[in-house]
């Protein structure tokens, strides 16, 4: 099998890390960039806004033809019969349904769509519309519940471990956006402080006007590679979600880098390699114990079990 993976435009350090193992995979070629020259991208984006395309393609979207992508698919399909085109819910809106139908009909390509957001998310709205208008060969979701509810295929192997050198600092680590989690995170900070445990916590884009707690760093975002160095230096990672959770990236990091994890995401119990000695599932900060934080563990002997290479293997089997 040979596949083109469409990334949907601008570079994304997080996604680059998650799929990094595939950069050296001869079966896969990544295709980035929006399918139109810079001079037209603003108008192209406007015509493809989610608000205009949540249920049906906006009128006259067919005018956006692109010779470069047409030539690419035609050439790759001639070199690799049964060529597979892989899209995610971010990249799919930039490729007209009519193009996909044409490529499938005339070049014999197979079409794969994967949801890296919940089906209920604003970011998945257009991809749901494509499901109704395009005959995909395979559709995957990173969410176990969405896969069950919508009859999709569930996948959870899309994290590429990085080789990181970091000086050990210990303690509990969290650095991420507020997204409605501030009160819960501050409650955990207070609990850890009361236990006398070290915690490095950053809450970015903090919402609300309540007083900010001394010791927490607010509104200071970090690049993902810096977050990985902090992750490698810590003993325990903190994974707090708001609302229904899907697969947590913190879970992949805990398993891949041999860290303990404190989480309020009930989905972790359904994840591969879940071990209550390594993963503490909580409903309130009071359930965090000094015993868990100070216990020595034997982490799962991770090699590459979550690598996206296994996902490509699976697509080969299932097509």
Instruction: Look at the block and give the residue holding tokens 């991208």.
Output: 41
CATH 3.40.50.2000 fits 172-294, yes or no: yes
Nearest to 119 by CA among 140, 97, 95: 140
Write down the pLDDT at residue 51.
Answer: 64
Cα 125 to chain centroid distance, Å, stands at: 16
Q: What is the pLDDT of residue 90?
A: 85
Q: How far is the C-alpha of 96 from the C-alpha of 93, rounded, in Å?
A: 7
Bigger pLDDT: 43 vs 170: 170
Q: Output DSSP code: residue 151.
A: T
Under a CB-based contact definition with an 8 Å cutoff, are residues 243 and 180 in contact? yes
Q: Is the pLDDT of residue 218 over 90?
A: yes
Give the tens place of pLDDT for each residue, 245-275: 667 889 999 999 999 999 999 999 999 999 9
Interval 23-77: pLDDT, tens: 889 999 998 756 666 655 677 666 666 666 666 666 656 556 667 889 999 999 9
pTM (2 d.p.): 0.85
Copy the structure tokens of residue 214. 């001394």
Phi, psi of 109 (to 5 degrees): -75, 155
**Residue 88 in contact with residue 5, Cβ under 8 Å?**
no
CATH topology of domain 3-160+308-318: Rossmann fold (3.40.50)
**How many of the other CB atoms lie within 10 Å of CB of 16?**
16
Tell me whether domains 3-160+308-318 and 172-294 share a fold. yes
Beta bridge partners of 204: 177
Q: Give per-residue burial for 284-297: e unless 16+ CB within 10 Å, then b.
A: ebeebeeebbeeee
Question: Which residue has tokens 């590679």?
Answer: 225
What ranges do the domains of the chain cover?
A: 3-160+308-318, 172-294
């Amino acid at each position: 099998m040979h596949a083109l993976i469409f990334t949907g435009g601008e570079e994304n350090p997080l996604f680059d890390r998650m799929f990094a193992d595939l950069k050296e995979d001869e079966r896969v070629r990544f295709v980035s960039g929006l399918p139109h020259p810079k001079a037209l991208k603003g108008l192209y984006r406007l015509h493809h806004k989610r608000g205009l395309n949540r249920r049906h393609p906006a009128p006259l979207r067919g005018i956006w033809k692109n010779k470069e992508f047409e030539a690419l698919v035609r050439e790759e399909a001639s070199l690799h019969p049964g060529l597979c085109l892989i899209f995610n819910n971010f990249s799919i809106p930039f490729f007209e349904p009519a193009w996909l139908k044409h490529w499938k009909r005339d070049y014999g390509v197979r079409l794969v769509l994967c949801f890296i957001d919940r089906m209920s998310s604003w970011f998945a709205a257009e991809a749901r519309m494509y499901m109704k208008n395009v005959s995909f060969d395979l559709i995957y979701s990173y969410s176990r519940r969405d896969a069950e509810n919508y009859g999709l295929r569930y996948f959870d192997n899309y994290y590429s471990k990085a080789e990181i050198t970091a000086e050990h600092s210990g303690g509990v680590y969290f650095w991420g956006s507020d997204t409605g989690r501030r009160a819960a995170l501050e409650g955990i900070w207070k609990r850890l402080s009361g236990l006398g445990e070290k915690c490095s916590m950053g809450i970015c884009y903090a919402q609300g006007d309540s007083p900010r707690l001394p010791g927490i760093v607010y509104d200071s975002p970090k690049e993902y590679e810096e977050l990985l160095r902090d992750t490698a230096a810590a003993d325990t990672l903190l994974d707090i979600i708001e609302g229904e959770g899907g697969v947590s990236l913190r879970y992949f990091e805990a398993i891949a880098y041999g860290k303990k994890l404190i989480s309020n995401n009930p989905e972790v119990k359904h994840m591969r390699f879940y071990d209550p000695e390594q993963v503490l599932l909580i409903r309130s900060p009071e359930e965090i114990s000094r015993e868990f934080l100070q216990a020595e563990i034997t982490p799962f002997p991770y090699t590459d079990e979550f690598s996206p290479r296994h996902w490509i293997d699976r697509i080969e089997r299932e097509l």
